[in-house]
């Protein structure tokens, strides 16, 4: 009976454990919003001068001392502001970022049992106190900026982000303190525990955060498509042009011709890759059929290493082999096949096939790795049963290995179809020259050239429009291919 009573009193790790959800839920929401604000430039509380770019976030200021100091290089040299103010500003930014990280850690710990929850609330309270102190110090720093030797050159600001973060830390500190006071105390000897579902969620959280920061947050850059943007100038209302660049892209005959040309190049080269996407699967099948382990590992290593070589080095190898004085020309001259060398890299003939061959050489071994892993997951009893029934090696490959790899192949094929417009830029950039630049220019390279590599003729707004269309078409292709897979195979990836 005593054991039963103790079991009833012991907190359940998956429950709230005496913690009021009316305090816990707002605490988690405010803490997550405060951490998310690290990456939003509009709310940067350390932008105490308009010399700091409006596109600089608090996270950038915290991880890069140069982001705070470099805009004031001239001001430091002229003595308009002292270096100590900038050092204190960076220290405040770093403390604010660490405090937001502490809030995130506290929220994560609050998913555990009562003992872990109380630790999370303590971490949140300490982080809130440190963050509030950092936010308050920004008022003193703002006064130092206003007292600079040449205020007109410094252009001091009092960003609204200071008040926002001060409110965030005040709210989280108050809620954490109230939660600690009202929460039950853990039983003596209770260990820190985290339910498995929350532990798995926290393991996946860093990858989710990286996806948001590097894949979804950059979508804020789409706003450049609606402005007449020039590098170095802010996105002010007088530069807003609406759908001007969308219309320019469709109405300008030269622009349409360029788009059609790069789309043709992109679709053809991606189409060749999709049509030959079965090569890594076949290579993996034959590789795993090698009986001797040492030759198999040697072949796999040799074919995988090129994936880790940059395209710049690949082009250096290609130049050494196929330039006018390269190995191939020298060998052909010695054999009497030709009398004078020719630069094969300058020729635009069969450029799509050449690029595909270089891509296969570089990525075949690496692309086969996932198929090799899938083959190792096929039930070995199937092979034993087939051997007993008299099936030979090729019969086992065709009736067991190949069907076992089809789900993996279909998933990779769907992803390849979705990325049909995203076949990379590095390869085509290093192999491009004046003779082949027309047929080799793909969409990614065109966007780069249009937005960044055209010198004074760069048009970031128009390049953003092209990139938007590319992203939307890729998403449409993904869902279309997934729907087709569901109709044909009865399953998809989304």
pLDDT digits (tens, 9 = 90+) for 352-407: 999 999 999 999 999 999 999 999 888 888 888 988 888 888 888 888 999 899 88
Examine the pLDDT at 1 and tell me if it is beyond 70.
Answer: no
* 127 in Cβ contact with 78 (< 8 Å): no
Query: Are 317 and 384 in a shared domain?
Result: yes
pLDDT > 60? residue 55: yes
> Closest Cα partner for 249 from 476, 430, 13, 466?
466
Last residue of a domain, which of 194, 212, 245?
194
Residues 31, 124: one domain? yes
Rounded average pLDDT over 321-331 = 86
pLDDT tens string 405-435: 988 898 888 888 888 888 888 899 999 988 8
8 A C-beta contact, residue 176 and residue 128: yes
Residues 6 or more apart whose CB falls under 8 angstroms from that of 200 comprise none
Rounded to an integer, what distance in angstroms lies between the CA atom of residue 177 and that of residue 181? 6
- Choice among 134-138, 255-259, 326-330, 457-461 with the minimum mean pLDDT: 457-461
Question: Helix or strand or coil: residue 156?
Answer: strand
pLDDT at 96 over 50: yes
Torsion 144-145-151-156 (CA) sign: negative
User: 102 lies in which domain range?
Assistant: 11-194
Instruction: Report how many domains make up the chain.
Output: 2
Q: Which residues pair with 156 in a beta bridge?
A: 49
Specify whether 249 is located in the same domain as 182.
no
Question: Mean pLDDT over residues 125-144, rounded?
Answer: 94
| 89 is a domain residue | yes
Q: Assess if residue 347 is contained within a domain.
A: yes
Task: Evaluate if residue 11 carries a pLDDT over 50.
Answer: no
Q: Is 52 exposed, middle or buried (0-12, 13-18, 19+ CB in 10 A)?
A: buried
In a domain, 272, yes or no: yes
User: Which pLDDT does position 161 carry in this prediction?
Assistant: 92
Positive or negative: CA dihedral 270, 274, 278, 284: positive
- The confidence band for 13, taking pLDDT boundaries of 50, 70 and 90, is very low
Structural contact between residues 145 and 154, judged by C-beta atoms closer than 8 angstroms: yes
Q: How many CA atoms lie within 13 A of 49 on its CB side?
A: 27
Q: What confidence tier does 7 reach under pLDDT thresholds 50, 70, 90?
A: very low
Shared-domain flag, residues 185 and 275: no
Final residue belonging to a domain, choices 160, 194, 228: 194
User: Is the pLDDT confidence value at 343 over 70?
Assistant: yes
Please indicate, yes or no, whether residues 182 and 273 belong to a single structural domain of this protein. no
Alpha helices of 160-308 — where are they, by DSSP H?
Answer: 161-182, 196-211, 244-251, 253-275, 279-288, 293-304
Q: Among 83-92, 124-133, 160-169, 462-471, which stretch is predicted with the lowest mean pLDDT?
A: 462-471
CA distance 448 to 461: 12
Instruction: Confirm if 34 and 103 have CB atoms less than 8 A apart.
Output: yes
Residue 400 lies in a domain: yes
Residue 136 sits in the same domain as residue 277 = no
State the burial class of residue 356 (Cβ atoms within 10 Å of its Cβ: 0-12, 13-18, 19+): middle
pLDDT digits (tens, 9 = 90+) for 244-303: 888 888 787 877 888 889 989 999 999 999 999 999 999 999 998 888 888 888 998 999
DSSP notation for 122-151: HHHHHHHHHHHHHHHHHHHHHHHHHTSTTH
Do 186 and 243 belong together in one domain?
no
CATH at residue 254: 1.10.3720.10
Residue 475 in tokens: 């998403």
- Has residue 22 been placed in a domain? yes
CA–CA separation, 352 and 21 (whole Å): 61
Residue 288 host element (H or E): helix 279-288
Q: At what angle do helices 83-109 and 21-36 cross, to 10 degrees?
A: 140
- Counting Cβ atoms within 10 Å, is residue 57 exposed (0-12), middle (13-18) or buried (19+)? buried
Classify residue 353: in a domain, yes or no.
Answer: yes
What angle (nearest 5°) sits at the alpha carbon of residue 242, between those of residues 240 and 246? 130
For residues 242 and 363, state if they share a domain: yes
Look at 347 and 4; give whichever has higher pLDDT. 347
User: Is 220 contained in some domain?
Assistant: no
User: Using an 8 Å Cβ cutoff, are 22 and 9 in contact?
Assistant: no
Q: Which of 159, 194, 229 is the last residue of a domain?
A: 194
Q: Tokens 């040309």 map to which residue?
A: 261
> pLDDT > 90: what percent of the chain?
30
Q: Is there a domain that residue 203 lies in?
A: no
Length of the chain: 494
35 and 125 in one domain? yes
* Dihedral of the alpha carbons of 457, 458, 462, 465, in degrees to the nearest 10: 160
284 and 362 both lie in a single domain = yes
Q: Both 25 and 90 in a single domain? A: yes
Q: Are residues 255 and 175 in the same domain?
A: no
User: How wide is the angle at C-alpha 175 spanned by C-alphas 171 and 181, nearest 5°?
Assistant: 150
């Amino acid at each position: 009976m005593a054991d039963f009573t103790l079991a009833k009193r012991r907190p359940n790790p998956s429950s709230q454990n005496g913690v009021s959800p009316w305090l816990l839920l707002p605490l988690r929401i405010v803490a997550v919003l405060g951490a998310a604000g690290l990456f939003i430039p509009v709310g940067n509380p350390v932008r105490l001068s308009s010399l700091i770019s409006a596109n600089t976030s608090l996270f950038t200021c915290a991880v890069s001392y140069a982001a705070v100091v470099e805009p004031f290089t001239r001001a430091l040299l002229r003595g308009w502001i002292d270096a100590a103010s900038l050092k204190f500003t960076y220290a405040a930014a770093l403390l604010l970022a660490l405090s937001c990280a502490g809030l995130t850690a506290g929220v994560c710990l609050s998913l555990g049992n009562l003992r872990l929850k109380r630790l999370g609330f303590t971490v949140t309270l300490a982080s809130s106190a440190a963050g509030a102190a950092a936010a308050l110090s920004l008022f003193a720093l703002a006064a130092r900026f206003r007292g600079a030797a040449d205020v007109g050159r410094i252009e001091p600001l009092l960003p609204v982000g200071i008040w926002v973060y001060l409110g965030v830390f005040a709210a989280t500190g108050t809620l954490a303190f109230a939660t600690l006071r009202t929460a039950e105390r853990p039983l003596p000897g209770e260990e820190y525990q985290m339910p498995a579902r929350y532990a798995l969620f926290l393991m996946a959280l860093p990858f989710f955060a990286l996806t948001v920061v590097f894949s979804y947050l950059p979508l804020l850059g789409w706003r450049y498509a609606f402005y007449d943007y020039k590098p170095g100038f802010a996105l002010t209302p007088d530069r807003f042009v609406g759908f001007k660049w969308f219309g320019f892209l469709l109405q300008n005959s030269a622009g349409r011709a360029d788009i059609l040309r790069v789309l043709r190049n992109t679709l053809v080269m991606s189409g060749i890759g999709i049509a030959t996407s079965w090569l890594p699967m076949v290579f993996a099948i034959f590789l795993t059929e090698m009986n001797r382990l040492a030759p198999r590992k040697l072949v796999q290593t040799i074919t995988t290493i090129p994936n880790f070589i940059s395209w710049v080095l690949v082009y250096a190898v290609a130049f050494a082999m196929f330039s006018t004085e390269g190995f191939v020309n020298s060998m052909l001259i010695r054999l009497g096949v030709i009398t004078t060398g020719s630069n094969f890299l300058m020729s635009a003939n069969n450029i799509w096939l050449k690029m595909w061959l270089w891509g296969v050489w570089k990525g075949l071994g690496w692309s086969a790795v996932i198929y090799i892993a899938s083959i190792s997951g096929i039930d070995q009893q199937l092979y034993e049963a087939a051997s007993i029934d008299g099936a030979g090696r090729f019969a086992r490959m065709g009736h067991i290995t190949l069907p076992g790899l089809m789900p993996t192949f279909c998933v990779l094929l769907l992803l390849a179809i979705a990325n049909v417009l995203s076949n990379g830029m590095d390869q085509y950039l290093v192999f491009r020259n004046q003779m082949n630049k027309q047929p080799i220019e793909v969409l990614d390279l065109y966007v780069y050239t249009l937005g960044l590599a055209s010198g004074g003729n760069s048009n970031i707004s128009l390049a953003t429009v092209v990139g938007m269309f590319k992203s939307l078409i890729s998403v449409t292709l993904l869902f279309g291919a997934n729907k087709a897979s569901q109709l044909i195979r009865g399953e998809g990836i989304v």
